[in-house]
C-alpha cells in the first residue's frame, strides 16, 4: 500500500489562500480525470520526522479507512461514489481546516495534496504529493471607510442601501438590523451574532459559500416588508471566512412615508346591491395600472392615518403570503374593473347597515408596495326604506343513525335575501339560548365571524353531520345533539332566529326557535 518506488511528477497545480483558521485552495490538472486527497497539520508536528514517511503513513491510514467504508456497503472501492472518497481536480475553490489540531492565527502549517487514481478494483497514489508550507494570517482589524448610498424616499415597502469600501481587497458584508436589536445588544455583539448566522448559510446545502455572502469594493443590502416609521441600523464590516477583519461602520434609517411612482388617479362609483354588499366601478386614469381596493370600518382610523393603516396592512399581508402580489387575480385588478365589496376585496366583509366604512383604492407593485396616492370614499348601505321581515321553512330529512348525518332543506320567503346557516353541537356557544336574547345570539354570530361570514341565498339543501358526545353513565363517546341555526342577514338582521335541535340517537327534531 505504501509505495517505495519513485513516483511520477504531480500533474496537479495547487493554489492556496491562507486565512486566520483555515485556507482555501484550488487544484487544476494537466491530465484528464485526475483525483486527489488532502491533509495537513501544524509544521511543528513534523519536527524531526521524515516527511515522506509521514505522509505515506497518512495515505496508508486513508487507504485502510476507504476499504473499511467499501466493505461496509459490500462493494469494491471503485463501486462506491467516487466523490465520496476523493476530490476531483476541476479547479473548484474549496476550504480546508483540520479539527484534529487547534489551528490559530499566525501558525506555521503544512498542506499536502496527494494525487490518486482509480484502478479496476482499487485506488492508488498516482504521483508525487505536493507539499506546501504556509502560515495562517494574523488576526487584525483594518480601518476601512464605508460609504453608504440610500434613497430616503422609498417607492415601495422596501429599502435598499448601497455600500462602497475604500479598500477593494478586503471582503465585507452589509446587514440591516432593527434598531431595537442594536440598542439592546450593542453593534459589535449584533454583528458577531450575524457572522454566526452567515457561517451557517455559507456551509448549508446549495449555498454559494462565502463568495455569495461577501463583497469586494461595492455591495448592498435590502430589507423588504417594512413599515413607515420603522428604524434600522445598516452595518458594513470586513468579513473574511466569518472573521471580523475591519471596523464596523453604521448608518441609521427611519423609514419615511411612501413616495408614489405613479401619478394615476381613480374615479369610483359605488352602487348599493343590498344591505351587505356594494358594487364598485373603478376607473384608474392609467389603464395599465395594477391596483387593489381595501375596506375598513371608519372607526379604525380614529387614532391613525389612512396611509399608516395601509402600510401596516400591506406589511401583514406580505408576511402571511408574499407571493399574493403576483398571483392573486381575485383581488388585484388592472385597468377598469367592476368589483364586489366582499368578493374582490382582501379580507372583505359583509357590510353592517348601522356602520360606515372607508374604501381605499391604490396602485400596488409585485412586492406589495403602494405605487400611487390613495383614493378614499366613505361607504354606507343604510337604506331609508324599512326592510320586509323574512321567514323560513325548514325541513329535516334523511336521518342516518350509522353515519350520524341529516339533510336540511331551507326555503326563505325572499329568494334574493342573504342568510346564515350554522350547524354545530348543541353545547356550542353560538346556539346556547340561556342568558342572551335572540337578537344577541344572531348579532354575536355576525360580529365574531366578520370577514369569514358565509351567506346563502335562495333555497338550499345541505347534508350535515351530528357531533358526538361523551356519555358519563356509559363512560364512552356516543351520538350527541346538534342545533341548526338560520337567520336572514343582509347588512342587518332581517328575520327572527330559527333554531332546530336534532338528536343523534333517534333523529328526533325539536324546534327551539321561534317559540
**pLDDT tens for each residue of the chain, 515 residues long:** 444 467 899 999 999 999 999 999 999 998 877 899 999 999 998 888 888 888 888 899 999 999 999 999 999 898 988 888 999 888 877 888 877 788 999 999 999 999 999 988 899 999 999 999 999 999 999 999 999 999 776 666 778 899 999 999 999 999 999 999 999 999 999 999 999 999 888 887 666 788 889 999 999 998 877 777 889 999 999 999 989 999 999 999 998 878 888 999 999 999 999 899 999 999 999 999 999 999 999 999 999 899 889 988 998 898 888 788 998 888 999 999 999 999 999 988 899 999 999 999 999 999 888 999 999 999 999 887 778 899 999 999 999 999 999 999 999 999 999 999 999 999 999 999 988 999 999 999 998 887 678 999 999 999 999 999 887 777 788 899 999 999 999 989 999 999 999 999 999 999 999 98
CB 453 within 8 A of CB 342: no
CB 348 within 8 A of CB 341: yes
What pLDDT, on a 0 to 100 scale, did the predictor assign at position 385?
Answer: 78
The correct CATH number of 12-135 out of 2.60.120, 1.10.8, 2.60.40, 2.120.10 is: 2.60.40
What pLDDT, on a 0 to 100 scale, did the predictor assign at position 2?
Answer: 47
How far is Cα of residue 225 from the mean position of the Cα atoms in its chain? 11
CA-based R_g, the chain, Å: 36
CA quadruple 174, 179, 183, 184: dihedral positive or negative?
A: negative
Q: Is 266-379 in the same CATH topology as 146-254?
A: yes
CA quadruple 364, 368, 374, 377: dihedral positive or negative?
A: positive
Domain chopping of the chain, boundaries: 12-135, 146-254, 266-379, 392-513
**Would you call the peptide bond into 342 cis, given omega within 30 degrees of 0 as the criterion?**
no
Distance (Å, rounded) from C-alpha 332 to C-alpha 409?
A: 37
CB 364 within 8 A of CB 289: no
What pLDDT, on a 0 to 100 scale, did the predictor assign at position 156?
Answer: 64
User: Biggest alpha carbon distance in the chain?
Assistant: 108
Whose cell is 429599502? That residue is 159
What pLDDT, on a 0 to 100 scale, did the predictor assign at position 55?
Answer: 85
CB 490 within 8 A of CB 276: yes
Distance (Å, rounded) from C-alpha 510 to C-alpha 357?
A: 40
* Domain 146-254: assigned CATH number: 2.60.40
CB 433 within 8 A of CB 442: no
What pLDDT, on a 0 to 100 scale, did the predictor assign at position 4?
Answer: 46
CB 91 within 8 A of CB 24: no
What pLDDT, on a 0 to 100 scale, did the predictor assign at position 5?
Answer: 61
Cell of 176: 440591516
Q: Among the residues of 96-239, which ranges form H helices?
A: 179-185, 187-202
The residues, any chain, with a CB within 8 Å of residue 441's CB and separated by 6 or more, are 430, 431, 432, 433, 485, 497
CB 19 within 8 A of CB 245: no
Distance (Å, rounded) from C-alpha 230 to C-alpha 154?
A: 12
Distance (Å, rounded) from C-alpha 486 to C-alpha 390?
A: 11
What pLDDT, on a 0 to 100 scale, did the predictor assign at position 472?
Answer: 75
Residue 222, beta-bridge partner list: 160
The residues, any chain, with a CB within 8 Å of residue 496's CB and separated by 6 or more, are 389, 391, 438, 487, 513, 514
Cβ count near 408 (within 10 Å):
21
Cβ count near 2 (within 10 Å):
11
CB 96 within 8 A of CB 40: yes
CB 352 within 8 A of CB 324: no
Cell of 300: 379604525
Residue 459: closest CA among 497, 421, 514, 507: 421
Cα-Cα-Cα-Cα torsion 452, 454, 455, 459, nearest 10 degrees, comes to 180
Strand order in the sheet with 94-96: 12-18, 23-29, 94-96
Q: CA neighbours within 13 Å on the CB side: how many for 80?
A: 21
Residue 193: closest CA among 178, 171, 206, 212: 178
- Enumerate helices (H) and strands (E) in the chain, giving the number of each: 6, 31
Q: CA neighbours within 13 Å on the CB side: how many for 240?
A: 22
Whose cell is 440610500? That residue is 150
What pLDDT, on a 0 to 100 scale, did the predictor assign at position 154?
Answer: 65
What does residue 40 show for φ and ψ, rounded to 5 degrees?
-170, 175
How far is Cα of residue 283 from the mean position of the Cα atoms in its chain? 34
Cell of 157: 415597502
CB 110 within 8 A of CB 41: yes
What pLDDT, on a 0 to 100 scale, did the predictor assign at position 205?
Answer: 61
Q: Which CATH architecture has domain 266-379?
A: Sandwich (2.60)
Q: For the whole model, what pTM was predicted?
A: 0.60
Cell of 363: 396602485
How far is Cα of residue 49 from the mean position of the Cα atoms in its chain? 56
Whose cell is 403576483? That residue is 326
Write the DSSP assignment of 69-132 as a string of letters. Answer: HHHHTT--GGGS-GGGTSEE-S---EEE--TTS---TT-EEEEEEEEEEE-SS-EEE-SPPEEE
Amino acid at each position: 500500500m505504501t509505495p517505495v518506488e519513485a513516483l511520477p511528477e504531480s500533474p496537479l497545480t495547487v493554489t492556496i489562500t491562507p486565512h486566520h483558521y483555515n485556507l482555501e485552495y484550488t487544484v487544476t490538472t494537466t491530465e484528464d480525470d485526475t483525483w486527489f486527497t488532502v491533509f495537513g497539520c501544524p509544521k511543528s508536528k513534523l519536527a524531526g520526522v521524515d516527511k515522506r514517511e509521514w505522509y505515506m503513513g497518512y495515505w496508508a491510514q486513508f487507504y485502510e479507512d476507504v476499504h473499511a467504508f467499501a466493505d461496509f456497503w459490500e462493494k469494491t472501492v471503485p463501486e462506491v461514489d467516487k466523490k465520496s472518497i476523493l476530490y476531483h481536480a476541476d479547479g473548484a475553490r474549496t476550504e480546508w481546516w483540520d479539527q484534529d489540531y487547534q489551528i490559530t492565527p499566525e501558525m506555521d502549517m503544512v498542506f499536502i495534496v496527494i494525487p490518486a487514481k482509480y484502478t479496476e478494483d482499487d485506488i492508488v497514489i498516482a504521483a508525487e504529493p505536493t507539499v506546501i508550507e504556509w502560515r495562517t494570517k494574523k488576526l487584525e482589524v483594518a480601518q476601512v471607510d464605508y460609504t453608504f448610498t440610500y434613497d430616503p424616499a422609498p417607492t415601495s415597502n422596501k429599502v435598499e442601501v448601497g455600500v462602497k469600501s475604500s479598500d477593494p481587497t478586503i471582503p465585507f458584508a452589509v446587514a440591516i438590523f432593527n434598531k431595537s436589536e442594536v440598542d439592546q445588544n450593542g453593534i459589535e455583539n449584533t454583528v458577531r451574532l450575524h457572522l454566526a448566522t452567515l457561517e451557517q448559510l455559507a456551509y448549508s446545502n446549495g449555498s454559494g459559500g462565502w463568495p455569495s455572502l461577501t463583497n469586494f469594493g461595492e455591495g448592498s443590502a435590502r430589507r423588504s416588508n417594512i413599515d413607515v416609521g420603522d428604524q434600522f441600523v445598516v452595518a458594513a464590516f470586513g468579513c473574511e471566512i466569518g472573521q471580523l477583519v475591519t471596523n464596523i461602520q453604521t448608518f441609521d434609517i427611519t423609514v419615511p412615508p411612501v413616495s408614489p411612482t405613479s401619478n394615476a388617479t381613480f374615479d369610483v362609483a359605488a352602487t348599493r346591491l343590498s344591505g351587505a354588499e356594494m358594487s364598485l366601478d373603478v376607473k384608474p386614469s392609467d389603464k395599465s395600472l395594477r391596483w387593489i381596493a381595501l375596506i375598513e370600518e371608519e372607526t379604525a382610523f380614529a387614532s391613525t392615518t389612512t396611509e399608516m393603516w395601509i402600510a401596516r396592512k400591506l406589511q401583514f399581508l406580505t408576511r402571511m403570503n408574499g407571493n399574493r402580489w403576483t398571483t392573486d387575480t381575485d383581488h388585484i385588478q388592472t385597468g377598469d374593473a367592476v368589483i364586489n365589496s366582499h368578493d374582490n376585496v382582501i379580507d372583505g366583509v359583509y357590510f353592517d347597515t348601522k356602520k360606515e366604512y372607508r374604501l381605499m383604492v391604490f396602485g400596488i407593485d409585485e412586492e406589495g408596495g403602494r405605487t400611487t396616492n390613495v383614493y378614499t370614499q366613505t361607504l354606507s348601505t343604510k337604506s331609508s326604506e324599512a326592510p320586509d321581515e323574512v321567514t323560513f321553512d325548514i325541513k329535516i330529512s334523511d336521518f342516518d343513525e350509522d353515519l350520524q348525518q341529516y339533510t336540511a332543506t331551507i326555503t326563505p320567503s325572499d329568494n334574493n335575501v342573504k342568510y346564515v346557516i350554522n350547524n354545530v353541537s348543541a353545547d356550542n356557544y353560538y346556539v346556547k339560548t340561556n342568558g342572551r336574547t335572540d337578537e344577541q345570539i344572531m348579532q354575536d354570530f355576525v360580529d365574531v365571524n366578520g370577514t369569514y361570514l358565509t351567506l346563502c341565498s335562495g333555497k338550499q339543501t345541505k347534508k350535515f353531520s351530528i357531533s358526538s358526545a361523551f356519555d358519563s353513565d356509559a363512560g364512552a363517546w356516543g351520538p350527541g345533539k346538534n342545533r341548526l341555526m338560520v337567520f336572514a342577514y343582509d347588512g342587518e338582521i332581517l328575520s327572527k332566529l330559527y333554531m332546530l335541535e336534532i338528536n343523534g340517537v333517534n333523529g328526533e327534531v325539536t324546534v327551539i326557535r321561534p317559540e
